[in-house]
Structures are given as structure tokens and as C-alpha cells.
Structure 1
Amino acid sequence: MTMHPAPHRDPAPMLERALQEWGDRSDLWVFGYASLIWRPDFDYAERRPATVHGWHRALKMWSRINRGTPECPGLVFGMLSGGSCRGMVFRVDKAHARQVMINLWQREMVTAVYDPRWLVCHTPHGPVQALAFTLSRKSPNHTGELPDHEVCRIFEQASGRYGTTRDYAQATYDELRKHGIHDRALARLIALAKKDA
């Protein structure tokens, strides 16, 4: 399936705004809900389980670089409004926070598809405000509802610079289970793809 590339947004002003909002005043918290849990790619001082209300994890974002190509887009997770999301928050020492944010932008915001937000994350030791990468339903990168057969085809065919959509979904599922997090929607997709294989 050939898809036209989504309109490009410049990630630099979005990084500058996030850095200003953080303000270099304290340690940085980052909320992970998918690959950031099992491959954060940054050093952190502390990690806690966390829940965000008002947003949920969904495998409904086109990936034309990391888990697919422009000719055969893959899928990655985004956080869509509504519901709640269990994941992990990572605390980064203030001294390293600016560089970690720059590195996160190079990883997550190559094409600026996410809308970075500071969200309240509820942890066993109290709430923290953390940087999270959310997705608008109005984004051209939002897949909308895909039929099961299309998801199975993507799991079978899509692969990008970090590997396949199937492996990405499985790794996220396995890591969530390791932390006692059961994502019913993801479990259904994993089972569906295995049945179709």
C-alpha cells in the first residue's frame, strides 16, 4: 500500500518550547508507554510505575521510518485522548536533562509527528509532571480504525530502520506484562497476528 508522506512539521521550535517549559529548574521526568519502557536509550536516576488519566496507549500511528517505509508504512504506538494509560516514569538528573531531551527529539520527533505534553503521572510515591509524546486524532499520521486483516498485513510486511512492526508490538507487550500491565487491545492484536501467521 503506497501512502503519501504526511506534511512535515519542524521539530526544533517544539523542542525549544519544551525546554522553556521545563525551565532547567528541576530534574526531568519522562513518561514511557511503549518502546521507552524497554529501550529508553538514556540514563535515569529513578524509575516508577505510573498511570496517566485522560490518555490511552494505541497502536494507531503510521511509521514510515522506524517500523515501516513510505511504500509500506508500519505501526507504532501513540497516546490518544480518552481513558487511562499505565506505563513508567523515568527521572533524569537535572544536569543531564537538557541533553536527554535533545536526544529524545532525535529519536521520537524526527518528523515531528507527536505533540509533546507535560502530563500529571500518578505514581506510588505521589504525582509527578512528566514529558509525554501524544498523538492528535487530527494528525495525518493517525491511522483511525484499521480492519483486522489490514493490521495482520502490516504485521507481516512492515519493517523499518529499527525492525518490524510485529517485533515492536511483541516487545512492548512482553515488557508491559513483565511490569504487571495488561493491555487488552494489544493482547488481541498480538493473538490475531499469531493466528493469521
Structure 2
Amino acid sequence: MSDFWVFGYGSLMWNPGFEFIKAEPALLRGAHRALCVYSWVHRGTQSSPGLVFGLDRGGACRGMAYLVAGKHRDKTVSYLRAREQVTMVYLEKWRKISLQSGGTAAALTYMVDRNHPQYAGALPLQTQLDIVLNAIGQSGRNPEYVLNTAEHFKEIGIKDSGVFWLAERLAHPR
């Protein structure tokens, strides 16, 4: 089996959880990152959902690309499906990415399914904050997820005013 790429745009950027050969910044065109998924498992529950990032159609998204050895394909894909597809809110797709080092590659991505009941769409920032503030799920508190992602954005130079607005208010709640 040949080596392959995985594109991370949320927690996969700071907590991939799988073995990889190398990681590098990459750009995915045709989709943007948004807190557009109600989390019923990892960062919330069905009765008290949190919000997590999804890749929604339109725009572009900077993230991290991970090159995975072909011999780890089955193990890595199984891990990602168990992590990302708990409620089937994402569609597993192969999308073209532009690597920072130059060139393009096909990468395994998880796009939000707009027809899924967990699709939140474009919520106002204050609504996002209200949802995230007190949500907690199997993987921990929802504010921690947003704060960790915002911190990683700063480390690799991603500018996202909405996420930074949320992070400031989550770091210093009133």
C-alpha cells in the first residue's frame, strides 16, 4: 500500500492520535472551517450539545497535513473512523490539498454532512459562546477544545477572528 495524506483542521491539528511520517501546513480549497457541528459525544451530549469544527463547503481552510505510511493505512483509517464517525456527521472524502512545501496531494478529509441533524450551520458568535461555555462530553470540556485549537492557530499562523473572539471570552469568562 502506498503512503497517504490526512488533512486536519480542528483537534487533529493538535491531537492527531495516529502515527505519521511527517506533518506540514496545507491548504484545502473549496471548504472552510466552522464551528458548525453540534457535538453529542466528544464535547457535549445530545441533551446538552457542544460545538466542534466541521469542514463546510465554500472558501478555503488552512490546516495540517499528515503523511501516513501505507503500512499503517488500515489502522489509521479505522482509528479516524472511530474518532470522527461516531454519529456519522461527517462524510469521508478524498480532497486535493496544496502542501506548504510545494505541490498538491489527495488527502483523506472529513466534511460535514449538511443533512445530518447535528449540522448547526452558521451560528452567531454569541450563540456559539453560549453553547460552548458549559458543554462537556466524553473527550472533555468544550471550552478546552476551542482554546486548544485557537492556541494551535497562533502557533502556525492561522488568523481566525471568530475563533480568537471566542477564545478570549472562554479564557476570561465573566
Shared topology, TM-score over 0.5? yes
Counterpart residue identity of residue 121, structure 2: G
Aligned partners of 2:50 and 2:136 also within 8 Å: yes
Show the counterpart of 2:63: 87
Question: In percent, how many aligned pairs have the same letter?
Answer: 36
The CA deviation at 1:196 is 5.1
**Partner of 2:152 in structure 1?**
175
Match of 1:54 in 2: 30
Gaps of 5+ in 1: 1-23
Q: Deviations over 1:88-123 (max 9, x none)?
A: 110110111111101111111111110111111101
Question: 1:31 aligns to what?
Answer: 7
TM-score, with length taken from structure 1: 0.82
Are the counterparts in 2 of residues 63 and 76 from structure 1 also a CA contact under 8 Å?
yes
| Residues in 1 aligned to 2:132 and 2:62: alpha-carbon distance in whole angstroms | 24
Q: Which has the larger radius of gyration?
A: 1
User: Structure 1 stretches (4+) deviating beyond 6 angstroms?
Assistant: none
Distance in 2, matches of 1:126 and 1:181, equals: 20
Partner of 2:79: 103
Conserved 8 A contact 1:64-1:70: yes
TM-score normalised by the chain length of structure 2 = 0.93
In the aligned structure 2, how far is the partner of 1:65 from the partner of 1:109? 11
Query: Residue type of the partner of 1:136?
Result: D
Unpaired segments ≥5 residues, structure 2: none
Matches within 5 A, 1:182-193: 182-193=159-170
Greater share of strand residues, 1 or 2? 2
Query: Partner residue of 1:117?
Result: 93
Whether contact under 8 Å (1:152, 1:196) holds in the other structure is no
| Structure 2 residue aligned with 1:10 | none
Kept in 1, the 8 Å contact 2:125–2:162? The answer is: no
Q: Superposition RMSD on alpha carbons, in Å?
A: 1.5
Deviation of 1:125 after TM superposition, in Å, equals: 2.7
1:145 alignment counterpart: 122
Instruction: Find out whether 1:133 has 2:110 as its counterpart.
Output: yes
| CA–CA distance in structure 2, aligned partners of residues 100 and 193 of structure 1 | 32
Q: How many residues align?
A: 173
